[in-house]
Amino acid sequence: MSTLTIENVFSDYQGQVILNGLDLTLQQGEIVALLGPSGCGKTTLLRAIAGLQPISQGSIKINGDVLSSDNVFIPSEQRGVGMIFQDYALFPHLTVADNILFGVKGLNKAERQSRLDEMLELVKLTGLSQRYPHELSGGQQQRVSIARALAYQPQLLLLDEPFSNIDAQVRNEMMLEIRSILKQRNVSAVFVTHSKDEAFVFADKLALFKEGCIIQHGLAEELYAQPTDRYVAEFLGAGNYLPVTVNSCMEVSSPIGVLQSSASINYPVDYQGQLLLRPQQVELVADEQGLAVIVERRFLGTVCHYWVKVEEHCLEVRSQLLQLSPGQKVNLFAPAHPLVIF
């Protein structure tokens, strides 16, 4: 049974549609990233799950229990979800211990203490229980907020851009650490971010948002390799587009020659479309008789990025070859892979 089921959810705010018929399901122990540019409705959905934002249509269920629907609204305080905020939302007047135990109910003193110790150990803050939030570093505050959200054992954890205030140098480490905590306790989580890099590192699955809708949902690799939409392709990484004509179900002809697909193409013969080629899916070979010419070179350490002109098309190519220079003639190849054509 899935932990979270969202069906056909609509939400509007002051006459503007924010969520536009959304569907999403989440399995127990799964971490899903709601990914999209700012203002696309991902935070609204998170708040709707927490009961902090009304929905106008559709339903939200956790473990089969309806939280929001046309005629049901369970208040936030009865939903049993945990939430982690961008600014951590630690209570400044309470110690780490009091913050962590804030939402814990129905335990006696010894049980509370053991819950606290367990949580402190989980987030590696043992010994800091009597500190106040302002006496902790940003990363420690973040960990307190995780401990606080897990301490009352919510059915679902919601994270609202929790890493945007963490220094770039330690962000990756922090994300992996928290991910392993969630995995260790088999917590289901919904994670909001606008950064594809964070989503790749932290989540199992991605749900890509566009104007209040999820346009593709699935494993990160799937979305990257098989985007259903040009918007998805571009959001997840740079790409080149070349006009192609389908020759057969395994082959297209393009300005850089005939290209093979390793999976069958879902378009009829003679269909004309745009082929997506990621910079690393193209290879360069220096050739005096080549059809393409290098326009610009950017050195990035282990690799070089070249901008290469073929006919009137300009392609970005990532190459291990470091010694090519602008003006040089080259040939381009694309090894066989499942071609993505729009």
Partner 1 sequence: MILGLTRSWSLAGYSIAAVIILPLIALIVQAAFPDEAVFSHLFDTVLPTYIANSLLLMLLVAMGSLLIAVPAAWFVARCEFPGRRYFQWLLLLPLAMPAYIVAYVYTDMLDYAGPVQRALRAAFQWSSPHDYYFPAIRSLGGAAIMLSLVLFPYIYLLARTAFMEQSSSLLHASRIMGCSPWRSFWRLALPMSRPALAVGVALVAMETAADYATVSYFAVPTLTTAVYDTWLGYGSLTAAAKLSAIMLLVIFTLVGFERFARRKQELFQKQSALNDSDRYCLIGFKALGAWFYCSTLLFLAFLLPFIVLTGYAIEYFEQSWDERFWQYSWNSLYIAVVVSGICLLLALILMFVRRVSPRTTDSLPSRLSSTGYALPGTVLAIGVLVPLTYLDFAINDVYDWFGARGPGLVFTGSAIAIVFAFTVRFLAIAIGSLENSYKRISPSLDMASITMGQTPKQLLMRVHLPLLRKGLLAGALLVFIESMKELPAALLLRPIGFENLATYVFQFVSDEKLEHGALAAIVIVFVGLIPLIYLNRSLEHTS
> Contact residues for partner 1 (CB under 8 A)?
47, 50-54, 73, 75-83, 85-87, 89, 91-93, 102-103, 105, 148, 152, 158
Least distance between partner 1 and beta carbon 36 (Å): 21
Q: Distance (Å, rounded) from C-alpha 328 to C-alpha 318? A: 16
Given the complex with partner 1, which of 10 and 73 has the nearer CB atom?
Answer: 73
Are 31 and 202 in contact by the 8 Å Cβ rule? The answer is yes
Given the complex with partner 1, which of 36 and 82 has the nearer CB atom?
Answer: 82
Query: Would you state the structure tokens that stand for residue 241, as one six-digit string?
Result: 């587009």
For 81, 104, 139, 212, the CA distances from 115, given in Å and listed in that order, are: 18, 9, 21, 39
Least distance between partner 1 and beta carbon 67 (Å): 12
Least distance between partner 1 and beta carbon 313 (Å): 48
Given the complex with partner 1, which of 68 and 319 has the nearer CB atom?
Answer: 68
**Which of 235, 121, 231 lies closest to 185, judged by CA?**
121
Given the complex with partner 1, which of 105 and 109 has the nearer CB atom?
Answer: 105
Least distance between partner 1 and beta carbon 98 (Å): 10
Least distance between partner 1 and beta carbon 14 (Å): 9
Least distance between partner 1 and beta carbon 186 (Å): 20
Bridge partner list, 277? 240
Least distance between partner 1 and beta carbon 174 (Å): 19
Given the complex with partner 1, which of 148 and 171 has the nearer CB atom?
Answer: 148
Given the complex with partner 1, which of 142 and 328 has the nearer CB atom?
Answer: 142
Q: Distance (Å, rounded) from C-alpha 324 to C-alpha 98? A: 62
* Cβ neighbours of residue 184 closer than 8 Å, sequence gap 6 or more: 122
Q: Distance (Å, rounded) from C-alpha 334 to C-alpha 276? A: 11
Least distance between partner 1 and beta carbon 85 (Å): 4
Given the complex with partner 1, which of 165 and 260 has the nearer CB atom?
Answer: 165
Given the complex with partner 1, which of 160 and 316 has the nearer CB atom?
Answer: 160
Dihedral angle of Cα 120, 28, 177, 220, to the nearest 10 degrees: -160
Q: Distance (Å, rounded) from C-alpha 107 to C-alpha 105? A: 6
- How do 283-286 and 313-319 pair as beta strands? unpaired
Least distance between partner 1 and beta carbon 89 (Å): 4
- What percent of the chain is helix, strand and coil (3-state, nearest 5)? 25, 35, 40
Given the complex with partner 1, which of 82 and 273 has the nearer CB atom?
Answer: 82
**Can you say whether residue 72 is alpha, beta or left, with left for phi > 0 and alpha for psi between -120 and 50 degrees?**
beta
Other Cβ atoms less than 10 A from the Cβ of 278: the count is 20
**Which of 183, 172, 164 lies closest to 122, judged by CA?**
183
Are 194 and 162 in contact by the 8 Å Cβ rule? The answer is no
